[in-house]
A and B are shown apart, each in its own frame.
Chain A
Amino acid sequence: MKGKTDASAKGRIFRVSGPVVIAEGIDARMHDLMRVGKEQLMGEVIQINPDKITIQVYEDTSGIKPDEPVENTGQPLIAELGPGLLTSIYDGIQRPLPVLQSMMGDYILRGAKTPGLDRKKKWHFKPVVKKGEDVKEGQIIGTVKETNVIEHKVMVPPGVSGKIKAIEEGDFTVEETVASLANGRKLTMMQIWPIRKSRPCKEKLTPEIPLITGQRILDALFPLAKGGAGGIPGPFGSGKTVTQQQLAKWSDADIVVYIGCGERGNEMTEVLKDFPKLIDPKTNRPLMERTVLIANTSNMPVAAREASIYTGITIAEYYRDMGYDVALMADSTSRWAEAMREISSRLEEMPGEEGYPAYLSARLAEFYERAGRVKPLGVAKIGSVSIIGAVSPPGGDLSEPVTQSTLRVVKTFWALDAKLAHRRHFPSINWLNSYSLYETILEPWYTKNVAADWKSTVNECKKILQEEDKLQEIVQLVGSDALPENEQLTLEIARMIREFFLQQSAYHEVDTFCDLRKSYKMMKSILHYADKARYALKAGVHVRNLLEIKARNRIADAKFEKNHEKILSDAEQAIDKEIESLLMEIK
């Protein structure tokens, strides 16, 4: 970055209190990266006072003393962007965890400096522009096969343009010059970008294409758009993590950025163990080849947890700028908010609601606003970043500040429900409280790509579920036998929607992913039974007989089988047959 801060780039520690260090005799800009103490721990300036500055330190501060030196790097906290990001596993400040392990063993000790991108690895660079061509910011000058499935596009960094003076094909490290411009500027395959600043784009577009997740309840009932933002609040034990991991595995984004922010170590291990083994259904290659993992578990330093979200979104934006669709999962933004709270309270800032800093909702909004479907600066292809943020409301109380601030900015809301989880209804997303504001924008897409009556089919299912909810209240009081026959039938149809359609097993090899066509067919089959049964009921068949139609259960079998089309049409025919014979009986 240009313009180092002046002479006083060295100072001394005045006070240490947990992750917060106060230094004196040094000048700095806000968010400058500092080296703190003899061990040169990484930290960031978060407050400036007349004679002292406050630094949040990303590493454990035990044993750090007043009077130790503090040094200003003159740079804000940055992310290194270039080939090698994919398949990486980073901590919150983009240090590769495998490298940390080889440096310091099984535990995260402190003072380790290691770059985000491997400096030694050579990548094969193929230019796509020629000598003499004019290039502008964001334009692709060459490509690198980063993994077997993703072609990395080497771009001119934002703010740079000019005429290519030299460019050549060959094997380079990320620091070596691959092209130089007439104005003397040398271009490498690596860009650096301050993580707290969003990367520029040409234009933000309306998100009008759904992010297909393969999860029936999400795709059909509460879709998320590519470039949209969704929130999953869920009390503990409600299946939030599994849902997020399902999304990471199955959503049809090109790139997945998964941020484990303040979560469990063992769970992160599961992700780290599972992801490399997972085979991407579209490419038949390991899912890791299009994934970046960021793991900052709950016992790793709290300030790095705060930074992890920004590191992740910056990487996501970088791939978006190449024209890719990126899905970013943040698990969990509540832990991120708590990190903010913890640091804020160490700063003795005046707290807002529940001890969270007053700027909580501004920070959350800023983060979610970095989602979007955009025209990148120099690439014709449209790229997008979709954010799926998990929220862990304490005590399952959705009125707490983090959930509320999130709700104000996200447009899709998947309300996880512990009660459903207790009943082993997975994914335990409550169909009554959840919503998606993208439905209308996405409708034309569904109509064109799945079925003309997609919307009405979905609405019919939703209507039945709503009715069920109302009827359940009565059932709670008087029992289902007291209901009129047609309402008893509605209850049964709703149960079928819930158990046959909404329930989906993440652990079953077939059921774990369900394409839109299959979702549509399944809804249709259930509604087929509904229509026929309603007709038969009117014709005088007793509801008890309709509830005992065996063939209905075959619709559920379709979930677990690959030849679902046949099973569903067989089931429909069998239902027709049974109903016909019931009709015959009464005649």
Chain B
Amino acid sequence: MEMKEYKTITRIAGPLLFVEKTHPVGYGEIVKVTLSNGEKRLGQVLDTSKDIVIIQSFEGTSGMDKKSSVRFLGDVMRLKVSEDMLGRILNGRGEPIDNGPEIIPDEELDINGAAINPYARGPPEEFIQTGISTIDGMNTLVRGQKLPIFSGSGLPHNDIALQIARQAKVLGEKETFAVIFAAMGITNEEAQKFIRDFEETGAIEHAVVFLNLADDPAVERLITPRLALTTAEFFAYQKGMHVLVILTDMTNYCESLREISSAREEIPGRRGYPGYMYTDLANIYERAGMIKGKKGSVTQIPILTMIGDDITHPIADLTGYITEGQVVLSRELHMKGIYPPVDVLPSLSRLMNQGIGKGKTREDHRQVSDQLYAGYAEGRDLRGLVAIVGEEALSARDRRLLKFAEAFENTFVRQGIKENRGIEKTLDVSWNLLSVIPRDELTRLSEDFKRRFYKGEGAEHAYVKEEVEEKVEKRETEKAAPKKEIKEAKKKAAPVHKKHKAKKK
């Protein structure tokens, strides 16, 4: 391949360069731009025609002038991968920044990957225990899934991501996940937190960290997740490892996409994001999965902050259409001091059914989850009503549900940041909660399961109630949770219960 150098930049606009050239240049080819001061930057061909090519510069165009020289490298962007990458910290372009030795590559891989033939995909159906009840119990993650966390600014999504990375395991297997962490436009402080946590827990030894920080070039964010996923695919399908990829924050990625699109003067779609954002995001998210006959897997947890907490915003919306569900964080729960503030109602795992049930978790898992949803949804609705008419006006059933919703948040949702709840424990907590509801009202549970697991009914109520309260109390002392609130709730709840019994007599 000839390596002609051109000094024919005709126009620079935003992150884009327009270059006149004479030899044919391939679409998507990588370009090296040398500035007049000798600095070298990377770019990629976005549009190529007989006389002019449009190049996006990954490291910005600041300082570039018409005298800068452009060299087309005749190849698409590739990443040098090797097993030595584990334990390393790289920048958003894949260069080591941890003062460690040079990485000696096994291979150079096209960072854009290719679509897995749907026929070659393996079915994702192995339960991953994250140790977080709201995820394991009601939005189960499985190997090969892409399950994003929809968060808002100021919510503890990073803590949750870290907790998952720390605790994730497949039951019955010793091996832990290799973690590929790609940061796009997050602050230095956040990045430090991740790295510190990785180092403290020793997780860094089986992790690769790609860092594009808030003050790094925005366009670089477009390649960071692709580097991370190329690395993940290498470990998964060539080295047979199970890989967990955390991408944070996809919102910043999409902003960069918009920036390029507007610099190209493309016709904008919703909220100025380009019309091809769906396809572009799909090319990232769809790289999660498993391949039939290969040992490894790529599981993705992308994190995005919903702008203005709006789940219908194009980024969250399109992501939700591609990923297999979402874990939604709630500001309301966070304000109540509940960690992790996962709002189970809009959360969903589309692959849950494949990963749960007999032989995987427990046979009653599905029904328990449905019953918890139903009860909590109704209880939450009733809160609105209580605000208007007061609790006294409610029926006994409604009051029970209201109490259930409260207990659900405090015993099921709430857990410690270092607390690793096994799935059995999660299901036990669920049955304790459900047992405050009369047996007949549990319409989502089969008789068989009720016989085996239900702990309530009539006089036995008291026993279960105590147990739930005991748990609340225990947690209170442990976590120093908002004591007042819970005690008040208990005070309120107790007489209600007696009243109901009296009525029945």
Chain A residues within 8 Å of B, Cβ to Cβ: 14-18, 22, 60-68, 89, 97-98, 100-101, 104-109, 236-237, 241, 260, 262, 264-270, 272-273, 295, 297-300, 302, 335, 338, 341-342, 345, 348, 351, 354-355, 392, 394-397, 418, 421-424, 475-482, 499, 507, 550, 553, 556, 560
Q: Tell me what chain B mostly uses at the interface: helix, strand, loop, or mixed.
A: mixed
If A66-B50, A97-B117, A297-B118 are given as contacts, then 15 extra A-B residue pairs at C-beta distance below 8 Å, sorted by A number, are A15-B48, A15-B50, A65-B24, A106-B291, A108-B116, A264-B324, A298-B279, A342-B276, A342-B279, A355-B270, A394-B270, A418-B346, A422-B346, A423-B378, A476-B384
> How far apart sit A411 and B171, CA to CA, in the bound complex (Å)?
49
Q: Are A100 and B117 in contact (CB under 8 A)?
A: yes
Identify the closest chain A residue to B266 (Cβ): A345
> How far apart sit A160 and B110, CA to CA, in the bound complex (Å)?
50
Q: Are B118 and A61 in contact (CB under 8 A)?
A: no
Q: Are A424 and B374 in contact (CB under 8 A)?
A: yes
Q: Is B263 located at the chain interface by the 8 A CB criterion?
A: no
> Shortest beta-carbon distance, A383 to chain B, in Å?
29
Q: Are A264 and B116 in contact (CB under 8 A)?
A: no
Q: Is B8 located at the chain interface by the 8 A CB criterion?
A: no
Identify the closest chain B residue to A301 (Cβ): B115
Q: Are B123 and A422 in contact (CB under 8 A)?
A: no
**Which of B24, B145, B322, B393 is A482 in contact with, Cβ under 8 Å?**
B393
Chain A CB within 10 A, most for which of B46, B282, B320: B282
Residues of A within 8 Å of B144, CB to CB, are: 266
Q: Are B115 and A302 in contact (CB under 8 A)?
A: no
A-B contact pairs, 8 of them (CB 8 A): A15-B47, A60-B114, A61-B27, A106-B116, A106-B117, A302-B276, A422-B345, A560-B446
- Tally the A-B contacts, defined by beta carbons under 8 Å: 225
Residues of A within 8 Å of B26, CB to CB, are: 16, 62-65
Which of B32-57 touch A at CB < 8 Å? 46-50
Q: Are A345 and B267 in contact (CB under 8 A)?
A: yes
Residues of B within 8 Å of A270, CB to CB, are: 123, 354
The 4 A-B residue pairs with the shortest CB-CB distance, nearest first, are: A395-B312, A15-B49, A298-B282, A65-B24
Q: Is B68 located at the chain interface by the 8 A CB criterion?
A: no
> Shortest beta-carbon distance, B361 to chain A, in Å?
15
Residues of A within 8 Å of B353, CB to CB, are: 507
Q: A299-B283, A354-B270, A479-B385 are in contact. Are A68 and B24 (CB under 8 A)?
A: yes
Contact flags (1/0) for B263-299 with A, using CB distance below 8 Å? 0001111100011101100110011110110100000
Q: A395-B312, A397-B312 are in contact. Are A264 and B27 (CB under 8 A)?
A: no
Residues of B within 8 Å of A272, CB to CB, are: 118-119, 121
Q: Are A107 and B114 in contact (CB under 8 A)?
A: yes
> How far apart sit A550 and B439, CA to CA, in the bound complex (Å)?
12
Q: A66-B50, A355-B269 are in contact. Are A265 and B286 (CB under 8 A)?
A: yes
Q: Are B440 and A479 in contact (CB under 8 A)?
A: no
> How far apart sit A270 and B122, CA to CA, in the bound complex (Å)?
9
> Shortest beta-carbon distance, A506 to chain B, in Å?
9
Residues of B within 8 Å of A98, CB to CB, are: 119
Q: Is B416 located at the chain interface by the 8 A CB criterion?
A: no
Identify the closest chain B residue to A16 (Cβ): B27
Q: Are B116 and A107 in contact (CB under 8 A)?
A: yes
**Which of B50, B114, B325, B389 is A237 in contact with, Cβ under 8 Å?**
B325
> How far apart sit A556 and B442, CA to CA, in the bound complex (Å)?
12
Q: Is B394 located at the chain interface by the 8 A CB criterion?
A: yes
**Which of B119, B268, B321 is A236 in contact with, Cβ under 8 Å?**
B321
Q: Are A16 and B50 in contact (CB under 8 A)?
A: no
Residues of B within 8 Å of A560, CB to CB, are: 446
Residues of B within 8 Å of A300, CB to CB, are: 115
> Shortest beta-carbon distance, A364 to chain B, in Å?
17
Residues of B within 8 Å of A61, CB to CB, are: 27-28
Identify the closest chain A residue to B326 (Cβ): A237
Q: Are A17 and B317 in contact (CB under 8 A)?
A: no
Q: Is B443 located at the chain interface by the 8 A CB criterion?
A: yes
**Which of B25, B75, B121, B122 is A65 in contact with, Cβ under 8 Å?**
B25
Which of B286-340 touch A at CB < 8 Å? 286-289, 291-292, 294, 311-314, 317-318, 320-326
Q: Are B118 and A295 in contact (CB under 8 A)?
A: yes
Q: Are A266 and B324 in contact (CB under 8 A)?
A: yes
Contact flags (1/0) for B1-37 with A, using CB distance below 8 Å? 0000000000000000000000011111100000000
> Shortest beta-carbon distance, B352 to chain A, in Å?
11
Identify the closest chain A residue to B318 (Cβ): A394
**Which of A16, A395, A475 is B317 in contact with, Cβ under 8 Å?**
A395
> How far apart sit A262 and B321, CA to CA, in the bound complex (Å)?
10
> How far apart sit A67 and B321, CA to CA, in the bound complex (Å)?
38
Residues of A within 8 Å of B348, CB to CB, are: 237, 421
> Shortest beta-carbon distance, A401 to chain B, in Å?
11
Q: Are B116 and A265 in contact (CB under 8 A)?
A: yes
> How far apart sit A298 and B118, CA to CA, in the bound complex (Å)?
11
Q: Is B421 located at the chain interface by the 8 A CB criterion?
A: no
Residues of B within 8 Å of A348, CB to CB, are: 267
Q: Are A17 and B124 in contact (CB under 8 A)?
A: no
Contact flags (1/0) for B350-375 with A, using CB distance below 8 Å? 11011000000000001000100110
> Shortest beta-carbon distance, B425 to chain A, in Å?
23
